[in-house]
Structure 1
Amino acid sequence: MLRSMVTASNTMYELQKQIDNISHNLANVDTTGYKSKHSSFSELVRQEMKQVDEKNNEVAQSRKTPPGLRLGVGAALTERLTHAQGNLKETKRDLDFALTSPYQYFQVDVGGEVQYTRDGSFYLTPGQGNQVQLVTQDGHAVLDQNGNAIRFDQRFSSFKVDAGGNITVASSNQGEAPLKFTLGIVKAVKPQALKATGNNLFTVQDELRPTALINLVGANRQDISMKQGFLEGSNVDVTKEMTDLIATQRSYQMNSRAITMGDQMMGLINSVR
């Protein structure tokens, strides 16, 4: 009974984490560029209770199962980011960019640290002098391929981005050459190395960065694909999340019931005089 209660309590702890993941996914169903988390379960280490040896050697030799009673100790949860492409939403806004290839991320400066996002909803904020700076909706600087902030004169006439992430800013002064910038884009070749830091941002440990990410510069920029005037929606499948939520709640109830029944049986044993 104690073993059954321990198994059930361990599993309930992991099921609660799955419910939290589902709730987080559903809460971000309308978050731009959000990548959902997928949960899967695996069995924890089993313990084998030795039984009395078979007295009949012929029966013992013909046995196809282990001679012990194998008892599990619950389930373990594994979380993985789902990097599937989200649906595109047309906004017709010049500062909205949607990456149309999976595993690619914009580079932004968050307190001096380079982090990554799929959210291409950008804005202009006043910079030094008469300049403006390209930032995220939280005010983090959007970086170019060299890791520098993108700044230009506030008296510009147009702002264009091509499919390869090349920005062209036309000046309002006739005869002045347009400014050109190149958005900093990376590709995650080991996407599970990305760790969510909140606010739709991801980071990678410094020791994993060289092998987990490829900075798309030079010839690699041919792999970039984006659209101006669009935003990528969340890749959350509401139908699947609701189905998983119902199944998880039923599993939680079953394990909770197992603990209750074990407690009742122990109470009966303790009451025997």
Structure 2
Amino acid sequence: MNRTMISAAVSLNALQQKLDMIANNVANMNTVGYKRQEASFQDVLTSVLEQHPDTQLRGRHSPHGLTVGHGARLSGLRLDLSQGTLIATDNPLDLAIEGRGLFEVEVPLLDDEGNPVFDEDGQAMRTLWTRSGQFQLSAMEELEGYVVLTTSEGYPVRSADDGYIMIPAHADFQIDAAGNVTYTDVDGAIVEAGQIKLMRIMRPELITAVGSNLYDVAANVQDADNVLQQVDDPAGEGIAVRQYRAEQSNVDLATELTELIMVQRAYQLNARALITGDTMMSLANQLRR
């Protein structure tokens, strides 16, 4: 009875985590560039109970012993990085990536309490990645007369030379499939502003979501170069940047609702097992009265 209750309680916790994951997927169904998450489970502990020797009959093919599990736990969340549908927009700052690529952005480094971390050169920054290409142009104090390509939260987008994409204020600009940004100056000449840095995903299972539609490399990875690599030739690697396009979420509502029903049924089953174990223990205690 104790084993039944422990197994049911452990499994209920894992199923609750998957319910939260499904709810997050459904809530972000209309979030540009969002990638759905998938859950993976593993046994907490599996043991074999020895049976009486008399049960070992001649000709028996099944193992001699009773295999007993102690529930399952959520071992990890994996991102489904499949391509979402590209929709046309009328905003030149809307960019979408075709293929297994990511934009690289610069995000302020925060401590455990959410306060900014400062180094000798000013505020410390860290590098994250995103598929959401709904960018904007933001002014920076140290770049008077220019605006910088940033995310909707104001995080600068990195260029191929690890700098920023700087464009003169109010200048017309274009972005080609390789991520090259050009603008027209006051004399009508075409000037190159840089190339948007694109990263190719090598090990998608080691990419983790960190919130705000941003991704990072898993904490236990020692060599991040084996997970993400810079794209030198986007056209040759099947990766392209599409201006005036936005990538929709790859969440399929029918799939999520189907999984939701399955998880709810499993949750009900384990809840009933927990109640049954508690009832049997109560009956056993009452036998002593």
TM-score range with shorter-chain normalisation?
over 0.9
Deviation at 1:167, TM superposition (A): 1.1
Q: Please list every run of 5 or more consecutive structure 1 residues that lacks an aligned counterpart in the other structure.
A: none
Q: Does 1:109 align with 2:123?
A: no
Find 2:61's aligned residue among 64, 79, 89: 64
Q: Does 1:213 align with 2:210?
A: no
Deviation at 1:195, TM superposition (A): 1.7
Q: Which amino acid aligns with 2:48?
A: E
The residue number in structure 2 matching 1:40 is 40
- Taking only the aligned residue pairs, the percentage that are identical comes to 33
The residue number in structure 1 matching 2:187 is 174
The residue number in structure 2 matching 1:83 is 81
Contact 1:193-1:208 at 8 Å conserved across structures: no
Contact 2:78-2:208 at 8 Å conserved across structures: no
More helix by percentage: 1
- TM (normalized to structure 2)? 0.87
Deviation at 1:49, TM superposition (A): 1.1
Q: Which stretch of the first structure deviates more once superposed, 8-17 or 177-186?
A: 177-186
How big is each residue's C-alpha offset from its partner over 1:26-81, in whole Å with a ceiling of 9 and x where there is no partner? 110011100101123344432111111128xxx63421112212111112334211
Q: d(CA) in 2 for partners of 1:63 and 1:20?
A: 45
Q: Which amino acid aligns with 1:265?
A: M
Find 1:267's aligned residue among 271, 278, 282: 282
Q: Please list every run of 5 or more consecutive structure 2 residues that lacks an aligned counterpart in the other structure.
A: 109-124
Q: Which stretch of the first structure deviates more once superposed, 92-101 or 77-86?
A: 77-86
The residue number in structure 1 matching 2:116 is none
Q: d(CA) in 1 for partners of 2:136 and 2:170?
A: 15
The residue number in structure 2 matching 1:162 is 176
Contact 2:5-2:274 at 8 Å conserved across structures: yes
1:111-130 alignment runs, 5 A limit? 111=108, 112-127=125-140, 128-130=143-145
> Any idea what SS the aligned residue of 2:16 has?
helix
Q: d(CA) in 1 for partners of 2:266 and 2:189?
A: 67
* CA pair 265-179 structure 1, distance change in 2 beyond 3 A: same
The residue number in structure 2 matching 1:232 is 247
Contact 1:164-1:222 at 8 Å conserved across structures: no
The residue number in structure 1 matching 2:115 is none
Q: d(CA) in 2 for partners of 1:4 and 1:247?
A: 21
How big is each residue's C-alpha offset from its partner over 1:193-235, in whole Å with a ceiling of 9 and x where there is no partner? 1121110001125723111111012x45632212110100100
- TM (normalized to structure 1)? 0.92
The residue number in structure 1 matching 2:17 is 17
Contact 2:48-2:65 at 8 Å conserved across structures: yes
* CA pair 143-221 structure 1, distance change in 2 beyond 3 A: farther
How big is each residue's C-alpha offset from its partner over 1:127-160, in whole Å with a ceiling of 9 and x where there is no partner? 221111111000000110111111121141x211
Contact 1:45-1:73 at 8 Å conserved across structures: yes
> Any idea what SS the aligned residue of 2:183 has?
strand
Q: Which amino acid aligns with 2:206?
A: A
Q: Which amino acid aligns with 1:29?
A: M
Contact 2:94-2:246 at 8 Å conserved across structures: yes
Deviation at 1:177, TM superposition (A): 4.2
Cα RMSD between the aligned structures?
Answer: 1.7
Contact 2:182-2:190 at 8 Å conserved across structures: no
